[in-house]
A and B are shown apart, each in its own frame.
Chain A
Amino acid sequence: MPTLVEAQPETDLLSLQGIVKAYGTGPRRFVAVQDVSLRIRAGEFVCLLGPSGCGKSTLLRIITGLTPASAGSVLYRGKPLDGINPHATIVFQTFALYPWLTVQENVEVALKARGVALAERRVRAVKLIDTVGLDGFETAYPRELSGGMRQKVGFARAMAVEPELLCLDEPFSALDVLSAEALRGELLELWLNKAIPTQAILMVTHNIEEAVELADRIVIMDKDPGRVVAEIPWTRSMRWWPARPRRRRRRSGPLRGSPVARPSCRWRV
């Protein structure tokens, strides 16, 4: 189990310095990520926005320790990352649920891998499934669920291990428009109400609206080679907007005209 350290507001949760990722050697060398530096602080919702092939998913895999960087350093809470980052999890684009496990078993297996005992595992898994609004589906298999419901299982599994850093790899792009919209609202609700112990969220997307709707800060990447071309610090430029819960109105205000109703809160906590 990751220990939940109360982070200072200005502490870097994660910092990348001069990250390079290249595949192959010689004339067949392909640079996926070229000299990227990035900081993620506790309390931030950061979006990596860019076209396909700009290395944003690769960057996510370097941050979680799935792929080693060819050069540069990855510091997590000031310490170099070695192997899989135990404080981070991923919500995958294609859900990555084990099709032969039920919804509950899929959530439980993440807890089991952390050595949680059977009885406690069951209680926590049921509670999480309830939190994402899937109660009654505990014994269903993923193939019996819709895309949106499957991704809810993905979220429940990710939240089960109470990560400090939650990485989202295009989590809504395999869903239909309506499910994606609903799930986004529910995620934001959880995050803004601090209903989950997550300290920071890093989302990879190629959907501009999605980034604008969710992020505190948007990092824009471009390809050939994959690199960061701009950072848009929403919070700073929108300083006049006060406390967090009202930022939603700001976002919907200038962009869409009139304030919209809060999305129905279906994720009970």
Chain B
Amino acid sequence: MRFRFSPALPRSPGFTSGDALVVLGLAALLYAALSLAWRAPAVVRGPTISLSPAALPYYALLSTTRMTAAYVLSLGFSVAYCYAAALSRTARRFLMPLLDVLQSVPILSFLPVVLLGLSAVLPQKVAAEIAAIVLIFTSQAWNLTFSFYQSITTIPTELREAAAVFRLDPWLRFKTLELPFAALGLIWNSMMSWAGGWFFLMAAEIFTVGSRDFRLPGLGAYLQLAANRGDLHAVASGVGALVVTIVLIDQLLWRPLLAWADKFRLDAVAGEEAPRSWLHDLLSRSWLVERVLTRVFTPLSERVDGFLHRRLSDRVAVPLEGPVETRLSLRAIGVAGVAGAALLYGAYRAARLLATLPAASLEPIGLGLLATFLRVGAALVVALAWTLPLGVAIGMNRRLASLLQPVVQVVAAIPATALFPVIVLVLLSSAGGLNLAAIVLMLMGTQWYLLFNVIAGASAIPQDLRFTTELLRLPWLERWRVLILPAIFPYVVTGAITAGGGAWNASIVAEHVEFAGHSHSTIGIGSLIASATIKGDYPLLLASTLALVVTVVLINRTFWRWMYRMAEERYRME
């Protein structure tokens, strides 16, 4: 099997009015949540977590359920969003840039605001559950949406024309053309989304600020309590349960899906092995499954298809072509007007709230941003330093790849946030303290994106170029300068963008921890957000959250965009 990546990065445009609009919208949303937060209970009691190993299956089930709920939401969202964007040109002009900004926003920074807002109106258990699901949703939805959108807009014209000429109704077209065409990309991106989701779930499960304990019963909370108590035995069994859960989901869900979805490949590349799964083999040979399929599934799907056909058969779409000017309907203008007014009002109120902020508090915000920026940079540099040589070695050596790949995959699947309490336990008493622990968390959360991308890049170096380099007998240094670094550059940039985003997110949980009854913080934007939440200083909370969002969007729009364009223009292998 090869490492397969669809980085789901659109060719990001420069600053657009969309960016400003999104930031305004986020400010309005944050304000809305904060205006609820005034009424948030001052003390939130967390759940009681049992450290008994017998409770682990239950906690694993709870965590997996949250993930599943968020994933189903994300999938539904991406299909609906893409349909809206694909059907209407007006919507597309607006929806796709919106998505582009949304995916570069550090989502974890919204966690305190969302939690405060929700706990003001809902029972706190429900509030924490919903906040966790919303958080995971926002971490999963964007790349699924990009993948699906990219798929349905690149369906070959003749396949679409055939669907129209043979009068496939919208449902049948979705079932026979669009979904199968998008299936492979969706599955690969689902796996990535799911891995990212664990990171956020664990963060949400252990979230505590001051006297408000927003923890959720689950594997994350179990691990945190175990580390808090210094119970190494419980830490080990917690990590074990987490690994078992992740491996089980991989073996029982993703591998069979991949093996089954292999038929959706458009081109069968010679020499590339089809993905295999023991479960899929077992099921496809099973007599019972076969009976259920022919006796239950086929008649049922016939019913559904027939029912929908009777309703939709007159709606055979003509495939879209060239730019058609769509006129805005009165209703669309009305809706946009109301939404715009609400947005402006929200932004205005947010600005009023910001204006109450004393000028002196701008200094800690700037200082915090700088400190976190330096940490993110340090984490990226360390990650690059070890992933570059190892990734290239794995990517260019088949034997090493088959040996190390399963190990790397399992290790990479463990969400760094789950281990964070353990890191804190080990590092808090060391010289670096929480500062070092924060960098380690960022590193652990992000290095895998880099490693996988470097491996993908190195294994994509054409064989004849490698032979040429061998024949020229280039010395070691020259070989890296001339061949390897340019060849993997686009992959490294793609990996680093994702890794950087992850590192900013990690700062929210990493810079302020409640450990063994004491709270510890280090200078940074994450700890500023946490302390503003504790003190109930909502202007500061709003300001620091917005500052973080704007900074990350700025970095993406300038530095990473510049790197990305360089990668596109100079170092692309065609």
Measured CA separation A68–B322 after assembly (Å)? 12
CB pair A143 B180 closer than 8 Å: no
CB pair A98 B159 closer than 8 Å: yes
B 155-175 binary contact with A (CB < 8 Å = 1; else 0): 010110110111111001000
Question: Which of A58-66, A127-135, A195-203 participates in binding chain B?
Answer: A58-66
CB pair B161 A98 closer than 8 Å: no
- Across the interface, A65 reaches (CB within 8 A) one of B177, B263, B318, namely B318
Tell me the nearest residue of chain A to B314, going by C-beta.
A83
CB pair A90 B302 closer than 8 Å: no
**Known contacts A66-B161, A96-B162, A99-B266: does B318 contact A109 (CB below 8 Å)?**
no
Tell me the nearest residue of chain A to B309, going by C-beta.
A115
B84 → chain A closest CB, angstroms? 22
CB pair B172 A112 closer than 8 Å: yes
CB pair B166 A118 closer than 8 Å: no
CB pair B176 A23 closer than 8 Å: no
Tell me the nearest residue of chain B to A61, going by C-beta.
B161
CB pair B176 A93 closer than 8 Å: no
Describe B's contact surface by its main secondary structure: helix
Enumerate chain B residues within 8 angstroms of A252, measured Cβ to Cβ: none
**Known contacts A65-B318, A84-B316, A115-B313: does B164 contact A109 (CB below 8 Å)?**
no
CB pair A161 B264 closer than 8 Å: no
User: Chain B: how many interface residues by the 8 Å CB criterion?
Assistant: 33
CB pair A112 B159 closer than 8 Å: no
CB pair A96 B161 closer than 8 Å: yes
A 167-180 binary contact with B (CB < 8 Å = 1; else 0): 00000000000000
B 253-273 binary contact with A (CB < 8 Å = 1; else 0): 000000000011110100000
B464 at interface, CB cutoff 8 A: no
Enumerate chain A residues within 8 angstroms of B290, measured Cβ to Cβ: none
- Across the interface, A98 reaches (CB within 8 A) one of B176, B305, B313, namely B176
Measured CA separation A43–B511 after assembly (Å)? 81
A157 → chain B closest CB, angstroms? 7
CB pair B318 A66 closer than 8 Å: yes
Tell me the nearest residue of chain A to B323, going by C-beta.
A24
CB pair B168 A113 closer than 8 Å: yes
Enumerate chain B residues within 8 angstroms of A86, measured Cβ to Cβ: 167
CB pair B316 A94 closer than 8 Å: no
Measured CA separation A143–B265 after assembly (Å)? 10
Interface residue ranges of A88-123 to B (CB < 8 Å): 88-90, 92-94, 96, 98-101, 109-110, 112-115, 118
11 contacts between A and B (CB under 8 A): A61-B161, A68-B318, A96-B158, A96-B162, A98-B159, A98-B176, A99-B263, A99-B265, A112-B309, A115-B310, A161-B166
Q: Which residues of A contact B (CB under 8 A)?
A: 23-24, 61, 64-68, 83-84, 86, 88-90, 92-94, 96, 98-101, 109-110, 112-115, 118, 141, 143, 157, 161
